[in-house]
């Protein structure tokens, strides 16, 4: 399973990249605003900075909600760097725009997906990735992981090549659950990725190795 980090924070992206297990980055307008990236020029430069750090897929989201605006923005974003993936919300004009981008060879990430029906439309339009939001479904007592599994099964049954990019991941447990249902990608906070490393038996076992070595070798 691929790991993307879900942030626009360059320090966290660098730290995740240096872990040696990072496969990409997803951003969204809220994450960009959180970093205080203001204005078109600064946003474009920031996306290029992220691409230069990871040299892997970086999702950059359009802010337009109309077809013409999405097309204009998406083509500008795609032209910034070969690693840019144009992120488009799952609305009528977004699906139409994804179809256009597919025909132009521009890779896309259909975001704000909360149902198998939406995921089906994204795949039919040729989206490169589909982003079901696990955490936000869990937040309203629905089963986000179950949706990921349903989408994975649907795509496999029909042979769609759209990759299931589980998003809105809130915990290390969510990552493991995404593995269990066969998600292609999980886009996570750095803390969730780092949580995969933690096990007390590893720590105690290493401590014992070091103590036993020291008892003989000083
Ligand atoms: O970036 C898309 C998604 O990962 C957002 O997650 O935590 O805002 O629900 P969250």
DSSP assignments along 86-122, one per residue? EEEESSHHHHHHHHHHHHHT--EEEEEE-SHHHHHHH
User: From atom 7 of ligand 1, which residue's Cα is the shortest distance away?
Assistant: 168
Answer positive or negative: Cα dihedral of 85, 195, 167, 186. positive
- To test the pocket of ligand 1, the residue of 5, 109, 136, 190 to mutate (highest count of ligand atoms within 8 Å of its CB) is 136
pLDDT recorded at residue 96: 98
Is 87 a known active-site residue? yes
Q: Are strands 24-26 and 2-6 parallel, antiparallel or unpaired?
A: parallel
For the chain, report the end-to-end CA distance as a whole number of angstroms.
43
pLDDT recorded at residue 181: 98
Q: Cα–Cα distance between 212 and 218 in angstroms, integer?
A: 10
Model-level pTM? 0.96
Tell which atom from ligand 1 comes closest to the C-alpha of 31.
1
Q: Are strands 84-89 and 108-113 parallel, antiparallel or unpaired?
A: parallel
pLDDT recorded at residue 126: 98
pLDDT recorded at residue 117: 98
Segments in the chain below pLDDT 50: none
pLDDT recorded at residue 56: 98
Pocket flag, ligand 1, residue 61 (CB < 6 Å):
no
Q: Cα–Cα distance between 112 and 39 in angstroms, integer?
A: 23
Pocket flag, ligand 1, residue 28 (CB < 6 Å):
yes
pLDDT recorded at residue 89: 98
């Amino acid at each position: 399973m691929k790991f993307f980090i879900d942030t626009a924070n360059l320090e966290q992206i660098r730290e995740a990249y240096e872990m040696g297990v990072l496969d990409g980055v997803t951003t969204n307008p809220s994450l960009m605003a959180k970093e205080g990236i203001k204005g078109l020029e600064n946003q474009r430069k920031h996306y290029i900075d992220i691409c230069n750090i990871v040299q892997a897929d970086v999702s950059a989201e359009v802010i337009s909600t109309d077809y013409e605006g999405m097309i204009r923005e998406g083509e500008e974003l795609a032209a910034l760097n070969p690693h840019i993936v144009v992120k488009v919300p799952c609305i009528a004009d977004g699906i139409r725009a994804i179809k256009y981008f597919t025909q132009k060879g521009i890779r896309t990430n259909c975001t704000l997906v909360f149902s198998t029906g939406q995921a089906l439309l994204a795949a039919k339009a040729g989206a490169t990735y589909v982003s079901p939001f696990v955490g936000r479904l869990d937040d309203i007592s629905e089963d986000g992981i179950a949706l990921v599994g349903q989408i994975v099964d649907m795509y496999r049954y029909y042979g769609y090549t759209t990759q299931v990019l589980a998003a809105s991941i809130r915990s290390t447990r969510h990552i493991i659950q995404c593995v269990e249902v066969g998600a292609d990608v999980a886009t996570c906070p750095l803390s969730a990725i780092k949580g995969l490393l933690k096990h007390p038996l590893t720590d105690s076992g290493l401590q014992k190795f070091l103590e036993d070595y020291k008892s003989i070798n000083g």
